[in-house]
Chains A and B, each alone.
Chain A
Amino acid sequence: MGILRLAVSTILIACLLNSVPAYSQPSPLITFTKKNITLREALDEIHKQTNYTYAGESIFTQYSHRISISVRNAPLSLVLDSCFRDQPFTYEIVGTAIVVQARPVRDQTVHGWIFDEKKQPLEGVTILVRGEPMTAAVSRVSGEFSIHMHFADDRLVFSSVGYEMQELMPKEGEDAVVILREKIGELSDVVVVHNGYTEKTLKASTGSSDVVGTALISRRVSTSLMDRIDGVTSSVLFNKNIQANTNQSSITIRGRSTIFANPNPLIVIDNFPYYGDIGNINPEDVESITILKDAAAASIWGAASGNGVIVITTKKGKLNQAPKWSFTTSQTVGEKPDLYYQPVLSSADYIDIQQFLFRNKFYNGALSPFQHGAITPAVEIFDAASKGTLSSTDSATQINLLKGQDKRRDLSRYFYQHSLNSQYALNVTGGGAKNNYYLSGGFDENRSNLVRNLYKRATLTGSNTYLVLQDRMEVTTGVSFASSKFYNNNSGVVPGYYPYAKYADARGNPLPINIGFKNSYIDTVGGGQLLDWHYVPLNELKNSDNTTNLADYRINVGIKYAVRKGLDIRAYYQYGWGDSIGSNYQSIQTYFARNLINSFAQYKNGLFTFPVPQGGILDETRNTYAANSARLQVNYQDSLFRRGLLNATAGAEVRDIEGESRRTRLYGYEKGVGSSRPVNYDSSWQQFPNFGTSKIPYLDLNGNTAERYISYYVNGDYTYLGRYTLSASARWDESNLFGVKANQRGVPLWSVGGAWFLSREKFYKADWLSFLKLRVTDGFNGNIDRSTSAFTTAYFNQGGNSYGVGSATITNPANPSLRWEKINIFNAGLDFSFREDRFGGSIDYFIKEGEDLIGESPLDPTVGLTTFRSNVANMSDHGIDFSMHANNRIGNIHWNSILLFSYVEDKVTVYKEKIGPVYNYLGGTSISPIVGRPLYSLFALRWMGLDSKGNPQGLLDGKVSTQYGAMLGSGDLNDLVYMGPLTPRGFGSWRNNLSWRQWGLSWNIVYKLGYVFQRSSILYSYVFTGGSPGSPDYERRWQNPGDEANTNVPSMVYSLDRSRDNFYQNSTVLTEKGDHIRLQDIQLSYDLVRSDIRRLPVSRVKIYLYANNIGIIWKANHAGLDPDYVTGVPNPRTLAIGLKTDF
């Protein structure tokens, strides 16, 4: 009623003013800046500067919005236009009067149709009334829409994913027809979230997700898809330093919320979870990658979603598009790895230590003629010199020669090379009125930086969509095929621990090294009847024949049938099959075969017989999986109440993944002929030389696995007035968990969420922040540990027992209270953008509470088992994901900058079981949770300096002590010093893209903060026995009384005191900070399109250079170590040159 009265009175005023004759005068210029003022205040200011008066004040003041304005010497009309934008009034200049008038009222429902450029109806287009945030509608499958218009001059705004926004003022009495044009270029503002079930725009969702689009996927050059998202998404951490036996995943999303169950995120490709090797996916075929982080986003995946979900959507064709060909290629050259990166003991120091040991008679046992085990060359020389068979000058010369040798030199020269990766991909996409297609083929060949290692991959992908039954039914089919082959002939590791080994002489002829048996023994044993027993590293490399073949295919069929407006039924089916065949042929030339044949040789009456046939050995492993997944789903979309929009989905799903693994070994195998020989597995054979008896290794096995799921789910969201969205989901999962009662197989999981489009509120006045949305979600994800069981579980030992019958080992004690793991995730987020989306970003705060987590607790060994897995633990994570982007144009230079920051703090909140002594917790090498600390924490023992004899000191019962065993064995967890988390607390990246005309420059800086690592030092007992290469810290060791003031490196003592070394290794003094910043990569590109050069034979060509793994910019530690590579060698720098062409 109010509006009507307002309208009537305004019209009256307008009529009165109309009688005043108009005359022309130059438009005055206005300068002023005001924030959040009323319309009246603005008009007052205009009046002050221009003397223009205004009329209609009595009514408009209370109905107008507040405005912010900033103008300098702007013409009056422009200023007024912005004052009246989106106001329920309009104005007219009559002479020097500004007449404020109510807008003409229409108050009727407008009906219309939306099509794309090819006249295909567009579904799901959002229709808003400009200036009326309370009204919104969405187009249906038919492209139809209807929306209520209040004012006659209302403009409708049409927006949809992938299309340019359009405005229209519908004519009265006519159906509006709108044609939306496809958007070209990067979808920066309309990002689509694929959760594997449905799609929606990122802006419309209540959940927390990250989307990596095509452009970003193709920014990085790599064969592997997962590399493409490293460092470009917030909250996804790529773990580089993974300790064995700690159940860490190489990718974690928002920290950790499980302990012993599966730690890996779920990977979904084209609607269904993928069970094959992710390496089979060619990144060129991927349209987008969506990372689902919170409960609302991920709970749709139920019991498998506890670690987050990565949804991969492959490229599809489009209707009514001429065939578009595209070809990409790249060549990447990589440096040799820096083998000198890890600080190790020099050959000279190593030999000095060996001499020290020799003098202490450490090698007496090994040197005894009754022992045949290999001894290192230096010890051989010392022995010969002490026996007088070698003169002291000769021995000194030989020792000096050895001191000058470094095995890394030969290793680098003969085992490593520059890597060369070549990638080629060709695809074509297009479509007619009733169908579309995408076809692609890719070929990759990677020459590893290890000599004789190679990887080849060929991929073939095709997908088709047909519209049938008067376009009511959409049928999609897709086939993907990948075949790859690995040649693993070089592990980069040569057995034999002494650092002065030499693999070739000056002319490059291969040399043997001392492993296995003493040279004096090898040269004489068997009187020529045995096979050569020397180990020659270069010959091993030459003779290695180890390959893995992978094949993988997926077939998708999807049917979508529109029952009626807003209601469709969908059915999806996917069949996936994958096969991996590993074949390791170790010919009789290899040490492995020769050693096995020799050690089983039987000596009788001067003759040898050979139970292991004299021939090669072929080991084959084969792992196959077949996955059948089917889903039936109903989608419903309608404005359930006026001004609202309901999206709902419900469905049921069945999945069955059957795996088979098989391993076989053939003895006496000759590759060319394909023949093998039988062996006697049952008899025990005397081992040569004198190692007791042994059976010929029997490795054949065949095992089957099955994972089966039945799930039911509903989820939906309701958006009211375009401003308030409520979402909810529920899911019930059941699986064939082992040894679980039928009624405990299932788990209900759910989520609820809400979003508030604050900037669409009437009262929202912050024009500087044009888009603001608040989101909150809460719900449960699940996780599963397939290794536990409610019943006592055993497995049959391969090959049975020594008496030729089957034997079984208990793996798991009975656990009647076994439950599913549940992870509660609360997420609150804020999305914002301003200056026409030139700046924008989001910030999310999350809390993850893992309940009933499977924990492995040490059991009192008296029980008969040392560990037990049960639902004993709770964990709690909380953190922040922040991302911010800026797009700026400075002259011709376009600058785009993306800052990502994630912070996550996890701690174990409940761990019910008692734990053993402190040594279990040290070094982060096993999972040993302490309540109140992160799951992966570094604990150390208090370092109290060296004593006056160079012995490391710690604290025992509050007193300085050198009782290492007692300190390591303390049961008091308060003796542990918490050094910090082993995984980064804060991490992220800062990516910048600069473009100038055809040139583009992009670089990515990544960082990891707030964590620690433990470095290694000189551990004498391990060096003595060959277990550690030692550390150059040796040179700074305690040698004389008084040194303890200047060094922390313990003295060298002749006693194999492991406890002393273990204490030192795990003391606080060897902890380093992990914080670092790295320049990850730089890309320089030149991009030509036909509009630039008319004679360009193709429509577009882009050439780029890409440098990766460039190096660390800053690091907190002074140990000279890259915290991503505490052990091992950093990834070598690579340089790629690439070409992308569209025809």
Chain B
Amino acid sequence: MNRTMWSFFGSWLLLILAGGLVGSCHKQDFLGKNPNSTLIVPSTLSDFQSLLDNDLVMNQVPALGEISADNYYMGDDLWQIAGTRVQNAYLWKPDIFVGQGSVEDWNFPYQQVYYANVVLDGLGKIKTDNSNLATWNDLKGQALFARAFGLFNVAQLFAPVYDVTSADSDPGVPLRLTEDVQAQVVRSTIKQTYNQITGDLRLAAGLLSSKVLMTFVNRSSRPAALAMLARVYLSMRKYDSAMIYADDALSLSLPLLDYNSLNAGAITPFPRQNAEILFQAQFVNYSSSNSQVLAYGTTSCFADSTLIKSYDSNDLRLVLYYASVGGPGVGLNGSYTGSIFPFGGLATDELYLIRAECKARKGDTGGAADDLNTLLLKRWKTGKFSNLAFSSSKAALDSVLLERRKEMPFRNVRWSDLRRLNKESASIMLTRVTNGLIYTLAPIDKRYVLPIPPDVLQLSGIANNPR
């Protein structure tokens, strides 16, 4: 090698040394810079709270149950523009989705499950001490509640109603319990599904704070978890358990809203944050539909006429829940969401109704009447309500169930109730008349379990429900 070459390689060496020197000192700082200030890797307790506070994800419930239920009917003109999924679900067609995926009714609950799993997995990596333990516990409770809430809502649509005799073999819903998107999950059994839901909720009830914060009704609390447990056990027809949890919740002195204090003329008479709400959630908005079928102001969406007729003229719910929308019937008015969309969360009134039903079923007609009277006193015009008393447990039960329907139409409970009550031999026959044709749904029908969305079938390989 000559001198030229030495200096050539020497210069390179110098350069590499210089580069290395710069590199070793500052390179990791230089390359460690966050490329986008709005992005985060959720890792702190406050990050997790922000995920759970995403109300556009966490406080949404599926609408297909209510759409399939009997609290309303559509005029033909609305049916025309309602969108394929709504059109078919409304008429209980065997195939609802006709190949179209992105079904919010499945996707949103599972998105809640995913967020909950991200939080739960993340919490596992945070060391707890006295300073953060309370928050940590509360977050874990919120996440467990969210997971159970999502799984329960999806099970009401896509899995058969809980039946103790066949729970070991009936197909439930897939239980995703980790944030790992690669994890393969198949359908669990109904028993596993409900064990997971009730287990999560019991754990949540132990971890969550006992107070409902009206400023943050989007977050769950112990009363919400207990109310959810009551709702879940009621749907399972485990009335003893349902009553225990309803009782537990009501023992936390939860107030009822006096409807006399509300402005019946307002479009949204119920504030979104009101004393009766335990957990705020609304019906999910369909992106694929032209028209929000179940919402205030939807033309040709009418409340079921027998339901309307069942209200006394002194019952304030008639004017608060319903409004004229033009056409032959009455449409929906505002709900506990404080907006034009129906409410799908939890509220104290439901606890009274659950407890009343459980009492009635046990033959405690007096107790059932007490609970109904407590509730209805706040629903009727002041001074117009006279206390109910029941001569038989059947009369009590009939009355409770009627009041349950009148108190909670468009609250995402009617479809569950239909499934459950038909199991209790209620024999409710559903009928629709659309475009001059009559459609019916028999009390015990495979179509009470909705088909799994096609994209889920394709991508997960799970089995569809027979229709």
Contact = CB atoms under 8 A, between A and B. Distances in A.
A-B complex is real: yes
A807 B99 contact: no
B459 A859 contact: yes
Interface string B455-467: 1111110100000
A173 interface: no
Contacts of B38: 703, 795-796
Interface in B141-181: 174, 176, 179-181
Contacts of B30: 654, 656, 708, 710, 736
A736 B37 CA distance: 13
B220 to A, nearest CB: 13
A868 to B, nearest CB: 6
B267 A361 contact: no
Contacts of A171: none
A71 interface: no
A807 B454 contact: no
Interface stretch (B49-57, B367-375, B396-404): B49-57
B35 A786 contact: yes
Contacts of A370: 297, 299, 324-326
Contacts of A915: 458-459
Contact of B339 (A566, A693, A866, A916): A693
Interface stretch (A93-101, A148-156, A1011-1019, A1051-1059): A1051-1059
Given A692-B340, A693-B339, A792-B41, A863 B110 contact: yes
A1056 B299 CA distance: 17
Given A690-B267, A965-B84, A736 B33 contact: yes
A340 interface: no
B37 A704 contact: yes
A861 B103 contact: yes
Contacts of A742: 28, 31-32
B218 to A, nearest CB: 6
Interface in A824-868: 858-866, 868
Given A795-B39, A969-B97, A861 B326 contact: no
A794 B51 CA distance: 8
B41 A789 contact: yes
Interface stretch (A319-327, A404-412, A631-639, A932-940): A631-639
Contacts of A735: 31
Contacts of A703: 36-38
A916 B453 CA distance: 11
B329 interface: no
Contacts of B39: 738, 789, 793-795, 811
Interface string B252-291: 0000000000000011100010000000000000000010
Contacts of A23: none
A862 B8 contact: no
Contacts of A1058: 84
Nearest to A373: B299
Which interface residue of A362, A569, A651, A652 has the most chain B CB atoms within 10 A? A652
B77 interface: yes
A710 B27 contact: yes
A808 B37 contact: no
A914 B458 contact: yes
Interface string A540-571: 00000000000000000000000111110100
A495 interface: no
Contacts of B56: 797, 801, 807, 809
Interface string A360-404: 011011101111000000000000000000000000000000000
B452 to A, nearest CB: 9
A239 to B, nearest CB: 27
A969 B454 contact: yes
Interface residues of B, number: 97
A609 to B, nearest CB: 16
B459 A916 contact: yes
Given A703-B38, A916-B455, A634 B8 contact: yes
A693 B266 CA distance: 12
Which interface residue of B15, B18, B97 has the most chain A CB atoms within 10 A? B15
Nearest to B462: A862
Contacts of B80: 362, 1055-1056
A792 B460 contact: no
B338 A693 contact: yes
Contacts of A807: 50-51, 53-56
Interface stretch (B112-120, B224-232, B344-352, B387-395): B112-120
B98 A736 contact: no
A569 B10 CA distance: 12
Contacts of A569: 11
B156 to A, nearest CB: 16
A361 B98 contact: no
B4 A801 contact: no
B11 A567 contact: yes
Contacts of B455: 858, 860-861, 916-917
A966 B95 contact: yes
B272 A802 contact: yes
A801 B53 CA distance: 7
Given A703-B37, A861-B107, A969 B215 contact: no
A625 B5 CA distance: 42
Contacts of B84: 965, 1058-1059
Interface string A1045-1074: 000000000011011000000000000000
Contacts of B16: 652, 712
A993 B290 CA distance: 57
Given A634-B11, A861-B456, A866 B102 contact: yes
A554 B111 CA distance: 47
B78 interface: yes
A200 B49 CA distance: 59
B30 to A, nearest CB: 6
A739 B272 CA distance: 39
A634 B14 CA distance: 10
B132 interface: no
A917 B8 contact: no
B335 to A, nearest CB: 11
A862 B98 contact: no
A365 B81 CA distance: 10
A738 B179 CA distance: 19
A805 B219 CA distance: 12
Contacts of A786: 35-36
Given A692-B296, A808-B54, A917-B458, A712 B19 contact: yes
Interface of A: 361-362, 364-366, 368-371, 563-567, 569, 632, 634, 636, 638, 640, 648, 650-652, 654, 656, 684, 686, 690-693, 703-708, 710, 712, 714, 734-739, 742, 745, 786, 789, 791-797, 801-803, 805-811, 813-814, 858-866, 868, 914-917, 919, 964-971, 1025, 1055-1056, 1058-1059
5 contacts: A361-B77, A567-B8, A789-B39, A860-B456, A969-B100
Given A563-B7, A634-B12, A971-B458, 18 more contacts: A365-B300, A648-B8, A650-B15, A656-B30, A706-B36, A736-B35, A738-B35, A742-B32, A786-B36, A789-B39, A801-B53, A802-B272, A807-B50, A860-B456, A917-B101, A966-B99, A969-B454, A1059-B84
Task: Rank and list the top 4 A-B pairs by shortest CB-CB distance, nearest first.
Answer: A969-B99, A864-B114, A965-B98, A365-B299
Interface of B: 4-5, 7-8, 11-12, 15-16, 18-19, 22-23, 27-28, 30-42, 47, 49-51, 53-57, 75-78, 80-81, 84, 95, 97-103, 106-107, 110-115, 117-118, 174, 176, 179-181, 185, 215-218, 266-268, 272, 290, 296-297, 299-300, 324-327, 338-341, 453-460, 462
